[in-house]
Amino acid sequence: MEALEALDIDKVWIKHYTERELIKVIAEIVESTDHDVIGLLSDDTIPPQSSLDLILDAFEPTSVYTGYCNMEENTPEVNLSDKPLIIKDRATVDCYSFPMRTEVDAHEGLYPSYFTGFAMTFMSREMWLKYPFDCIGDPGYQSDYSLSCRLQNNEVNIWAVPGAFMPHLKLAESTKHLEGGTVIVGNGLGEVVWDLKQAK
């Protein structure tokens, strides 16, 4: 949380919602703001300012720009796909082709990907209106896969920015087995908190 709080950018914290509940909440946020560009970041990464700067420096409004992170603790693969996604009603591991971090880090120029895993994924406001946040099932999952499939179907470029890496804290073992691992979301607990730089 300290790493997210330290990022030099306007923020909106979306707390305690299920992914299914987020569909309406994120749509309302995008529609109500005049911010443009808009990014989405899941809360289990440690994003450095340098990665944010690289992504924003590369950004232009006709494409999607993203950082990347390790899939799980100590895994060499990152949350991108170097081949087109296999599109299903629900993704399985064979739907993706995850590249190694070393490959993306060393790539000259922007790295083309068919998947963006919300490791600081930025689109224009217009693009978010055209390709809104969505998910599969209830309480919701695979929202990143849902977006990536729709972008792929419409041949929208997803560019990963080499060097825009951030560590992902997802453990290889499910957190439900860890002390304090219970996550409480949904059932009216949701909250939206704006954190604007100019208001400080």
What percentage of the chain exceeds 90 in pLDDT?
Answer: 84
User: Mind listing the domains of the chain with CATH numbers?
Assistant: 11-169 (3.90.550.60)
DSSP string, the chain: -HHHHHSSS-EEEEES--HHHHHHHHHHHHHH----SEEEE-TTB---HHHHHHHHHH--TTSEEEEE-BSSTT-SBBS--SSPPPP-SS--GGG--PPBHHHHHH-SSPEEES---SEEEEE-HHHHHHS----BTTTTB-HHHHHHHHHHHTT--EEEEEEEE--B---SS-GGGSTT------TT--EEEEE-GGG-
Q: Per-residue confidence at 74, pLDDT binned at 50, 70, 90?
A: confident
Q: What is the pLDDT of residue 184?
A: 72
Name the more confident of 53 and 179: 53
Question: What is residue 170's predicted lDDT score, i.e. its pLDDT?
Answer: 75
Mean pLDDT for the stretch of residues 96-119:
98
Q: Mean pLDDT lowest for which of 41-45, 111-115, 141-145, 151-155?
A: 41-45
> In the predicted model, what is the mean pLDDT of residues 19-43?
96
- Mean pLDDT of the 83-111 span: 98
Amino acid code (one letter) for 80: L
pLDDT at 119: 97
Mean pLDDT across the stretch 44-66?
97
Q: Give the count of alpha carbons within 13 A of 13, CB side only.
A: 11
Assign 177 a pLDDT band (cuts: 50, 70, 90).
low
When pLDDT is cut at 50, 70 and 90, the band that residue 73 belongs to is confident
